[in-house]
């Protein structure tokens, strides 16, 4: 989908996260997975095709992104995958009534710094409800000045860097893109930071 609007393009980060899911496909059957900011939903579709119970979500204020999620499901014969409007930082009935989840997926959601805290507020809420869950996320390094480290500390979250070579995603052709500029992509797993003694 060659359209650089937020949720209508297969961004390089989505390809890398999909590769991570494929590399871990044997662990996915039966896992309950939520993709946030899903757009065309490549990671969520891969997870569902590998046997996970997937829910796709994007902002309730972006109906074209929600339609992209639905279209991806139809094209991949995933008629059982629900699509929810979830807006980062907003405590909606849809967010509050989500069933238990094991993994949250997010590819290139850390795109605009003004959204970083809303994203982590939502992630913190989900991880508090599901303390053993993890947030698997890929992001493109766009500026050395952008960091979520202080926000992770504020929300009692920790991150673990996942080297791309560890799942065969360090090849230049893997996440090739027709978009200009370099595409330095990183992956991390975010979870609740445990306090001392727990």
Q: What string of H, E and C letters represents the secondary structure of the chain?
A: CCCCCHHHCCCHHHHHHHHHHHHCHHHCCCCEEEECCCCCCHHHHHHHHCCCEEEEEECCCCHHHHHHHHHHHHHCCCCCCCEEECCCCCCCHHHHCCCCCCEEEEECCCCCHHHHHHHHHHHHHHHHHCCCCEEEEEEECCCCCCCCHHHHHHCCEEEEECCHHHHCCCCCCCCCCCCCCCCCEEEEEEEECCCCCC
User: For position 86, which CATH number holds?
Assistant: 3.40.50.150
Specify if 188 maps to a domain: no
Question: So what's the pLDDT on residue 11?
Answer: 76
Reference 41, options 80, 3, 67, 4; nearest CA is: 67
Question: So what's the pLDDT on residue 182?
Answer: 55
Which domain range does residue 153 map to?
Answer: 32-175
Specify if 95 maps to a domain: yes
In terms of Cβ atoms closer than 10 Å to its own Cβ (0-12, 13-18, 19+), residue 197 is exposed
Contacts for 69 with CB less than 8 Å, ≥ 6 apart: 38, 39, 40, 41, 44, 56, 57, 58, 83
Specify if 54 maps to a domain: yes
Question: So what's the pLDDT on residue 12?
Answer: 85
Number of domains into which the chain is organized: 1
Q: What is the mean pLDDT of each run of 10 residues along the chain (198 residues)?
A: 55 91 97 94 96 95 88 93 93 93 95 90 96 95 79 93 90 63 82 69
Identify whether the C-beta of residue 53 lies closer than 8 Å to the C-beta of residue 66. no
Specify if 64 maps to a domain: yes
| Strands 185-192 and 157-161, sheet pairing | antiparallel
């Amino acid at each position: 989908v060659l359209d650089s609007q937020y949720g209508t393009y297969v961004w390089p980060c989505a390809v890398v996260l999909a590769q991570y899911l494929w590399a871990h496909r044997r662990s996915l059957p039966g896992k309950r997975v939520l993709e946030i900011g899903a757009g065309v939903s490549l990671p969520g579709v891969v997870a569902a095709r590998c046997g996970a119970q997937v829910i796709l979500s994007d902002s309730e204020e972006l109906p074209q992104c929600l339609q992209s999620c639905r279209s991806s499901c139809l094209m991949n014969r995933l008629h059982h995958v629900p699509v929810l409007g979830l807006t980062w930082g907003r405590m909606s009935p849809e967010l509050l009534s989500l069933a238990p989840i094991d993994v949250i997926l997010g590819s290139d959601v850390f795109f605009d710094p003004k959204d970083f805290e809303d994203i982590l507020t939502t992630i913190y809420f989900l991880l508090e409800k599901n303390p053993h869950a993890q947030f698997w996320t890929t992001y493109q390094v766009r500026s050395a000045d952008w960091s979520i480290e202080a926000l992770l500390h504020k929300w009692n979250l920790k991150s673990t860097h996942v080297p791309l070579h560890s799942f065969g995603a360090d090849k230049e052709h893997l996440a090739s893109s027709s978009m200009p500029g370099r595409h330095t992509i990183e992956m991390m797993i975010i979870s609740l930071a445990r306090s001392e003694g727990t």
